Amino acid sequence: MPFPRSSVATPATSACPRFHRSGGPIAGPALSGLSREFEVRQRARPDTFGPISPGLQSVVAVPARDEAGALPRLVAALDAQRDPAGSPFARREAEALVVLNNCSDGSAGVLAALAADRPWLRVTSVVLGPGEAHVGRARQIAMDAACARLLAAGRPDGLVLSTDADSEPAPDWIARTAAEVAAGADAVGGRALLRADERVALHPGVRRLYLLDLAYRRALEELRDLYAPDLHDPFPRHHHHFGASLAVTAGAYAWVGGLPAVPSSEDVALTDALVEAGARLRHSPAVRVRTSARSVGRAPGGLADAFRFWAGAVADRREPLVEPAADAERRLARLGLVLAEAPDGPPPRALRTTPEPLPGLGQALPAAIDDLRRRIAALRPLSLATRLDHAARLVAPPALALAA
């Protein structure tokens, strides 16, 4: 078993299986994982959202704040979920938990009406204090409850799925996510695409920068795959592991202590914890949601901030600057060398995270994409061993590189 997918019964268990990048189990102390699982159980009572179906397999967790206009579309999308054969889910197998966080609009009434004939839709309203009235805490409440309900149902391999109130999962969202977990993933990031009508309505300049950013991130993922291939997250893949579409097994979620209650980027904090604990994180192109292109969001650092930034760049007639392709290649080459030396260790965060360029030292986005694609084309025909030889020369100090 590559990662703890079952609850460890007692602290007397001295070791818990954890996985290698190469797939084999290694022994590691279980006490820290047990204590973090206990913290999750303490934060959330399993019965908070009502009785638990013994057949429960998937729980969708949704934080919402003043989203009365968006919630009907979300509920309709969840209502439309289908199993791999195209049949509606047996509702004892899947449910959705919505946490209304300090809402002052009609969200509660909208959901009450929708839940009247949808027993799988469970809703609670919370009033959080000034220090925790943010999406991170609301998402934590929802995901903790989802995890606790699955563990209470005896399903540590069940799915805790996160999405947002302004998102619409594809009809096969749960089924495709479950398929990735069945194939070996412990966590799955899905693609967050824009709603077609909102994408068309974007200012052409903003839409251009949005598409260029996607192309840049895709090129980085391919370059990383050439230097540091991941058996469990092969290219093609994407870079999204965000709250609009993020799933994790209940056992893995509990093992890392759940979602951190931080004001923003709580989704990234969770995936960082999972990766550093050895979890297999899959960025699946087959798992998709549609989300809003609004420029006023509910949390700092989200997609809305990106749209505001791109709108400002268009207004100022400037190309955004990003990590230069040469720097990105050196960083990812170093990542490949590190993982070749220690294939069972987690990839260092500093090497797997794309940094913001220093002021004035970045590369214009279109030029960076072209440069990355040239480097990718040169590497593709080479074997991994040859690529790593090239990586060693690329990151060597200048004197050593000349000597080689």
DSSP labels for 153-215? TT-TTSEEEE--TT-EE-TTHHHHHHHHHHTT-SEEEEEEEEPHHHHHHS-HHHHHHHHHHHH
pLDDT score, position 85: 85
pLDDT score, position 304: 81
The residue type found at 50 is G
Say which residue the tokens 């967790």 belong to: 61
Distance CA 232, CA 19 (A): 11
Specify whether the CB–CB gap between 297 and 303 falls below 8 A.
Answer: yes
Distance CA 17, CA 1 (A): 6
Indicate if the alpha-carbon torsion angle 9, 33, 240, 182 is positive or negative. Answer: negative
pLDDT score, position 301: 64
Q: From residue 391, how far is each of 48, 223, 226, 317 by CA, in Å?
A: 52, 12, 11, 37
Identify the three-state secondary structure at position 1: coil
pLDDT score, position 92: 76
Q: What domains can you pick out in the chain, each with its CATH number?
A: 15-214+232-316 (3.90.550.10), 321-403 (no CATH)
pLDDT score, position 86: 85
CA atoms within 13 A on the CB side of 286: 15
pLDDT tens for the chain, residues 1 to 404: 344 433 332 222 222 333 333 333 333 444 466 667 777 877 887 778 999 998 999 999 999 999 999 999 999 999 999 988 888 877 779 999 999 999 999 999 999 999 999 999 999 999 999 999 999 999 999 999 999 999 999 999 999 999 999 999 999 999 999 999 999 999 999 999 999 999 989 999 999 999 999 999 999 999 999 999 999 999 999 999 999 999 999 999 999 999 999 999 999 999 999 999 999 999 999 999 999 887 665 666 677 889 899 999 999 999 999 999 999 999 999 999 999 999 988 999 999 999 988 777 899 999 999 999 999 999 999 999 999 999 999 998 765 444 44
Identify the three-state secondary structure at position 75: helix
pLDDT score, position 284: 98
pLDDT score, position 305: 87
Kindly tell me the burial class for residue 85, based on how many C-beta atoms sit within 10 Å of its own C-beta (0-12, 13-18, 19 or more).
Answer: exposed
pLDDT score, position 225: 98
Radius of gyration (C-alpha) of the chain in whole angstroms: 22
